[in-house]
A and B are shown apart, each in its own frame.
Chain A
Amino acid sequence: MESGHSSTVHVVDSDILIIGGGFGGCGAAYEARYWGRDLKIVLVDKAAIERSGAVAQGLSAINCYMGMRWNENTPEDFVRYVRNDLMGLSREDLVYDVARHVDSTVHLFEEWGLPFFKDAQTGKYVREGRWQVMIHGESYKPIIAEAARKASTEVVERVMVTHLLPDARDPNRVAGAVGINVRDGSYYVFRAKAVIVAAAGASHIYRPRSAGEGAGRTWYPPWATGSAYALLIGMGAEMTQMENRLVVTRFKDGYGPVGAWFLLLKAVATNAAGEEFEKSRLPELRQRVGPYADAKPMPTCLRNHLMLQEIREGKGPILLHTERVLDTPEKEEIGWEDFLNMTVGQVVTWAAQGTDPSKVPSELILSEPYVMGSHAVCAGAWTSGPADVAPPEYQWGYNRMTTVQGLFGAGDTVGGSAHKFSSGSFTEGRLAGKAAVAFVRDHADAPPQADDARVDGLRGLLYRPLETYAAGRGQVTAGTVNPSYLLPVDGLYRLEKTMDEYAGGVGADYTTNEYLLVRALENLAALRADLALIAAPDLHQLQRAWELEHRLWTAETVVRHTLFRKETRWPGYYYRADFPHVDDTNWRCFVNSRFVPSTGAWEIHRRTYTPIL
């Protein structure tokens, strides 16, 4: 099937549809099955769940574990830590909820067969840092996928979900989703009583530092296309903190993570002259962010900021002194395994550049921005919190339900609750899975129904890029330049360039202002108009076309939020040059937005921050 819309339609009915079989989605499948023995639970993923999502290559640490059984930390400790790291802004009810349940998830993982580093004397997990425990995690993803596969009635793979379906009678209730099977081109219509979206955050919203082949070596994977956000936004779900995008400090080029090096191996970072610079920069930082400068530990964005200031003054590069800490074979093995288990590309980079980390330091760099909700940032959907803990304004029914009835989220999808990482995302999936079962039971006599006309209309729309290609291809000789259409990669470059230059990417030194952001919106509007003329020569490119559409929704929402928040709350993530300071008086609040599907208008407003401790 290379052009025209698909002749084959698959209708898949379920009680609970889970979109995305990563950490959030696998957790949702597992828990939904535990509570809903008789329910039909369908998991759909655009890839194969054994190696899909951010954990495709494995991980070296579980970054969210309290250790309550050994009195290591309480959920309250975690809430204070996350509040601090996010510069005072978190949905603390959600953060607390992840923290109080996450240990049971981690203990399940151990029972399933995930190998942990353990202290031979005490039997405790070896800590990488206060919240992290070390694992031999090459098979982390296939292990949790095994559990999710057993729990699901059906796992549908290689289907890219493009749109959610509203209920014909109540547009604020979800009735299912549609997508394309990228192997045979068939059209998938999922009809469901509840939907859990766990379709991950986004890379390639901003132009990556590396060009050419290296564009694939983004820190967050190239297949994280913001579907978690686009699907929800298109349904009219309320979003929060979309301006809180992530910049990570990583090994240059290979983007190897730094956690184990700083926390476990205790390596230090210096400028090119060998000076440790953090202390000397504190006075400037205090002026900019006030008391947050002295918060312990220093918030992630502020550590970025200090490195950036050093680089801006020409004192870079920042060097991580691996050579000072790899002094035993055990430590060397820990250092290499850290990357072999989760960022093999860093090892390839060392091998290619002839770097021996036990002899020479490595350069660190600040990455291009990513949009996600499970790391040291919390972009995502505004969801209802747990009944016993959430303040009343954060609670409207089912845990982790968005503002759309029957539509739940987990992992990167859910906003306001950072530092979930793999274990917390799985835990949040479990919370959403259980709540979705309750929702289905409570609404058993009034199932939603998708509108047939809409399902048909989307079928025409979804395959249009193939038709556009077929119709326009003959207008030029060979080559990719064509006046009547754009290929997905052309649109992607356009998106990345606009976001980079106007919305605070690497090229603009993470800095933007009102004028630039308004320009960004104009450029994105023009890109949206051109997306009607996106052309796909084959099914793979058809997937890329819809991924681009999802990235564009994500990007536009990021820009709208950044424009609305008139302060620089997270220096080191981005700077509003026209409002360079933290402004707690006016902006210690959430910025929430909603795209209104019926009118195409955007609503954007503040929401109160309510601490729970």
Chain B
Amino acid sequence: MPTYVVPSKCQGCMECVTICPSDIMHIDPTQGKAYNIEPSFCWECFSCVKACPEGAIDVRGYSDFAPLHHRVVPTRTDEKIQWRIESRSGLVKEFTFPLRTTPWGSIPAPQEAPVPPAGAIREELLSFEPDYLAVEALPTLKRPAAPGA
């Protein structure tokens, strides 16, 4: 269906509705629970699956090329994501990957940096350059001669 929602788990909290980049997770007004309104516009990006606090959303591969009997289940915390893959053949794989090396919310806003000198807006350097290039200076080239010159 690509994504589908298990009715007994869904609390209608709207997290999936808020996050879906395709705007296809909607709440069914009769049941108050989420469902995928347009499966052929689902990228199987798993954004909604990762965001659902109840683990209510699952993915069933695209019907035009994916046989039944498989599951791919992520469990995402602030630090890591775990994947459990159950193949139609019986093969089971599990992987865990890190997400981030710093606490969420810790990125310094650019406006916290010292105000750049007034004339710098006319130069080619971007914020924190050349320091963040980790080379001495921003490379440049001699402007090519005009054709025929």
CA distance A96 to B2 in the complex (A): 41
Q: Is the CB of B23 within 8 A of A349?
A: no
Interface string of A362-399 (1 = CB under 8 A from B): 00000000000000000000000011111110000000
Within 8 A of B (CB), among A189-222: 210-218, 221-222
Residue of B nearest to A392 (CB): B146
Contacts of B128 in A (CB 8 A): 104, 108
Interface string of B36-48 (1 = CB under 8 A from A): 0111111111110
Q: Is the CB of B72 within 8 A of A344?
A: yes
A101 interface residue, CB < 8 Å from B?
yes
Q: Is the CB of A115 within 8 A of B100?
A: yes
Q: Is the CB of B139 within 8 A of A388?
A: no
Contacts of A389 in B (CB 8 A): 140-141, 143
Within 8 A of B (CB), among A211-251: 211-218, 221-223
Q: Is the CB of B147 within 8 A of A610?
A: yes
CA distance A100 to B21 in the complex (A): 32
| Given the contacts A33-B110, A136-B97, A347-B72, A434 and B61 also touching, CB distance less than 8 Å | no
CA distance A218 to B73 in the complex (A): 22
Contacts of B67 in A (CB 8 A): 352-354
B102 interface residue, CB < 8 Å from A?
yes
Query: Of B121, B122, B133, which contacts A103 at CB under 8 A?
Result: B133
Within 8 A of B (CB), among A596-611: 608, 610-611
Query: Of B63, B70, B111, B133, which contacts A33 at CB under 8 A?
Result: B111
Residue of A nearest to B145 (CB): A391
Interface string of B81-113 (1 = CB under 8 A from A): 101011111010101011111111111011101
A107 interface residue, CB < 8 Å from B?
yes
Contacts of A265 in B (CB 8 A): none
CB distance from B112 to the nearest CB of A (A): 9
Contacts of B133 in A (CB 8 A): 68-69, 101, 103-104, 107
CB distance from A612 to the nearest CB of B (A): 5
A506 interface residue, CB < 8 Å from B?
no
| Given the contacts A138-B81, A352-B61, A150 and B109 also touching, CB distance less than 8 Å | yes
Residue of B nearest to A347 (CB): B72
Within 8 A of B (CB), among A278-335: 333
Stretch at the interface among A3-11, A50-58, A510-518: A50-58
Contacts of A214 in B (CB 8 A): 40, 62-65
Interface string of B130-149 (1 = CB under 8 A from A): 10111100111101101100
Q: Is the CB of A356 within 8 A of B89?
A: yes
A543 interface residue, CB < 8 Å from B?
yes
CB distance from A208 to the nearest CB of B (A): 10
Residue of A nearest to B70 (CB): A351
Contacts of A113 in B (CB 8 A): 100-103, 106-107
Which of B66, B70, B130 has most chain A Cβ within 10 Å? B66
| Given the contacts A101-B126, A216-B44, A337-B95, A349 and B61 also touching, CB distance less than 8 Å | yes
Contacts of B47 in A (CB 8 A): 51, 56-57
Query: Of B2, B21, B115, B129, which contacts A223 at CB under 8 A?
Result: B21
CA distance A412 to B68 in the complex (A): 37
B22 interface residue, CB < 8 Å from A?
yes
Q: Is the CB of A150 within 8 A of B107?
A: yes
CA distance A69 to B81 in the complex (A): 32
A131 interface residue, CB < 8 Å from B?
no
CB distance from B15 to the nearest CB of A (A): 10
Query: Of B43, B68, B124, which contacts A216 at CB under 8 A?
Result: B43
Which of A46, A353, A431 has most chain B Cβ within 10 Å? A353
Residue of A nearest to B105 (CB): A146
In this complex, how many residues of chain A approach chain B with their Cβ under 8 Å: the count is 92
Query: Of B39, B68, B135, which contacts A213 at CB under 8 A?
Result: B39
CA distance A158 to B19 in the complex (A): 10
| Given the contacts A210-B62, A213-B64, A352-B61, A101 and B147 also touching, CB distance less than 8 Å | no
B33 interface residue, CB < 8 Å from A?
no
Q: Is the CB of A354 within 8 A of B126?
A: no
Contacts of A431 in B (CB 8 A): 126
Query: Of B105, B121, B134, B139, which contacts A434 at CB under 8 A?
Result: B121
Contacts of B37 in A (CB 8 A): 540
Contacts of B66 in A (CB 8 A): 253, 348-349, 352-353
Contacts of A151 in B (CB 8 A): 109-111
Query: Of B24, B51, B129, B144, which contacts A610 at CB under 8 A?
Result: B144
Q: Is the CB of A354 within 8 A of B89?
A: yes
Q: Is the CB of A212 within 8 A of B138?
A: no
Q: Is the CB of A212 within 8 A of B102?
A: no
A458 interface residue, CB < 8 Å from B?
no
CB distance from B137 to the nearest CB of A (A): 10
CA distance A590 to B122 in the complex (A): 29
Contacts of A96 in B (CB 8 A): 141
A345 interface residue, CB < 8 Å from B?
yes
Q: Is the CB of B95 within 8 A of A333?
A: yes
Residue of A nearest to B24 (CB): A540
CA distance A347 to B93 in the complex (A): 11
Interface string of A47-83 (1 = CB under 8 A from B): 1101111001100000000001100001110000000
Interface string of B67-82 (1 = CB under 8 A from A): 1111110101000010
Contacts of A336 in B (CB 8 A): 83, 85, 93, 95
Q: Is the CB of A386 within 8 A of B124?
A: yes
Which of A212, A213, A441 has most chain B Cβ within 10 Å? A213
Q: Is the CB of B111 within 8 A of A34?
A: yes
Contacts of A612 in B (CB 8 A): 141, 144
A87 interface residue, CB < 8 Å from B?
no
| Given the contacts A51-B19, A216-B62, A430-B126, A350 and B87 also touching, CB distance less than 8 Å | yes
Contacts of B89 in A (CB 8 A): 354, 356
| Given the contacts A34-B116, A47-B23, A387-B124, A216 and B61 also touching, CB distance less than 8 Å | no
| B residues adjacent to A (C-beta < 8 A) | 1-2, 18-24, 26, 37-47, 51, 59, 61-72, 74, 76, 81, 83, 85-89, 91, 93, 95, 97-107, 109-111, 113, 115-116, 121-122, 124, 126-130, 132-135, 138-141, 143-144, 146-147
A–B complex contacts, Cβ < 8 Å, 28 sampled = A56-B47, A68-B133, A101-B129, A104-B128, A107-B133, A107-B134, A112-B102, A113-B102, A136-B99, A138-B76, A182-B23, A210-B64, A213-B40, A213-B63, A215-B40, A217-B44, A221-B22, A221-B45, A340-B97, A345-B43, A347-B72, A348-B72, A349-B65, A353-B67, A356-B87, A387-B124, A389-B141, A392-B146
